[in-house]
Amino acid sequence: MEGFKEELINNILPYWMDKMQDHENGGFYGRIDGTEVLHAGSNKGSVLNARILWTFSSAYRTLKDEKYLMVARRAYEYIKTYFIDKENGGIYWELDSKGNPVNTKKQTYAQGFALYGFSEFYRATGDKEALELAKEFFYLLEKCYDQQFGGYLEAYTADWKPIDDVRLSDKDANEKKTMNTHLHILEPYTNLCRVWDDDALKIAQERLIRIFTDKILDKGNCHLNLFFDEEWNVKFPAISYGHDIEASWLLFEAAEVLDNKSLLDEIKKISIKIADAAAEGLQPDGSMIYESKGGHLDKECHWWVQAEGVVGYMYAYRNSEDHIYHEKAAKLWNYIQHNLVDTQNGEWIWSRLPDGSINRKDDKAGFWKCPYHNSRMCMEMIEHF
């Protein structure tokens, strides 16, 4: 498979550098819609900004091009200045276009992405302030840990009190614990382990891996359950094929940074089983559909699912030496190139609908449409495969 570096430097990253930098109010615009119209007055989301920070930090670390460092530093300074709650700690969920907080709740998921961005900025630059911020967010996340039943609670008020609506988005169930949030705490903890040798972090990392193997993973079918109450009872059974394949490689990566061979050997086997379960979502054209809920298949092909599929199956290939996984990854990459990459405007479209038509309703760049899944796919392929 070829073309990942070219896709990254010629199509994905330039889109964000050329079209999304807000030169009037600072930072980055909140939205370009699915028809390429810029909405300069849209609100700015913490997750998008943290993902931009991670993406351009990682691009600079990987490719050593100063123009990526400039964008990473822009994201870093904007998050520090506007998103961090100076009084209560953590980052706000949402700002208006001028940088004023409009949704001050503390979503655990967002704190995880801030940690991910800060730790990668430190990896890229050696900036000690960024490492201190990453440590600060680690301690903050550990305060979200449920000492009674284990795992991390979803959300809080601005001053870290319990909150009724803990959902990430309208599509999510309003439950105390989710697979998605745990996955995106695992991911930054892995990155922090690379740059900070700390016993408390290692303990938290191994404990989090065990939450996946003992609470989140369905041992019967090797899919990941999505929503739970406080005591880890499964709520609203569904299968997310994209999260399955993403978790398959992030779990392996999480074990890899710990000096524990028996754990790594165990997780390697589990990782391949999860990748096999996710393959139920693969279609004859190589694409991976979105989810199965209540026996109904949602056959929309989202950009991020395909990107995570390429990485997940390449890890499965490396860990098993079975060429079938390489074939799956290659077919996904072929599907991406012919169906999702926007060669005219740059970046990727959000998705293809079940009838094969382009989804124009969802954003090209926005609150949830970010450069991190597809950029990370490219950088994983450049660095490791």
pLDDT score recorded for residue 6: 98
Residue 331 lies in a domain: yes
pLDDT score recorded for residue 171: 78
Using the structure block, give the residue that is written with the tokens 């490219």.
378
Distance, in Å, from the CA atom of 198 to the CA atom of 128, rounded to the nearest integer, reads 16
Residue 1: which pLDDT band, with cuts at 50, 70 and 90? Answer: confident
pLDDT at 55 over 90: yes
Distance, in Å, from the CA atom of 161 to the CA atom of 165, rounded to the nearest integer, reads 12
pLDDT score recorded for residue 139: 98
189 closest CA partner among 242, 250, 248:
250
Residue 238 lies in a domain: yes
pLDDT at 236 over 90: no
Residue 377 lies in a domain: yes
Residue 287 lies in a domain: yes
Tens digits of residue pLDDT in 84-119: 999 999 999 999 999 999 999 999 999 999 999 999
Residue 172: which pLDDT band, with cuts at 50, 70 and 90? Answer: confident
- Residue 83 neighbours by CB distance under 10 Å: 23
Residue 93 lies in a domain: no
List beta partners, residue 44: 95
Tens digits of residue pLDDT in 278-294: 999 999 999 999 999 98
Residue 369 lies in a domain: yes
Rounded mean pLDDT, 43-61: 98
Largest CA distance in the chain: 53
Q: Vertex 297, ends 294 and 299: CA angle to 5°?
A: 155
| Structural domains in the chain (count) | 1
Using the structure block, give the residue that is written with the tokens 């991190």.
372
pLDDT score recorded for residue 140: 98
pLDDT at 358 over 90: yes
Report the CATH number at residue 361.
1.50.10.10
Residue 207 lies in a domain: yes
Question: Whole domain around residue 345: which residue ranges?
Answer: 4-21+47-73+111-146+178-384
- Residue 126 neighbours by CB distance under 10 Å: 10
pLDDT at 295 over 90: no
Residue 80 lies in a domain: no
pLDDT at 30 over 90: yes
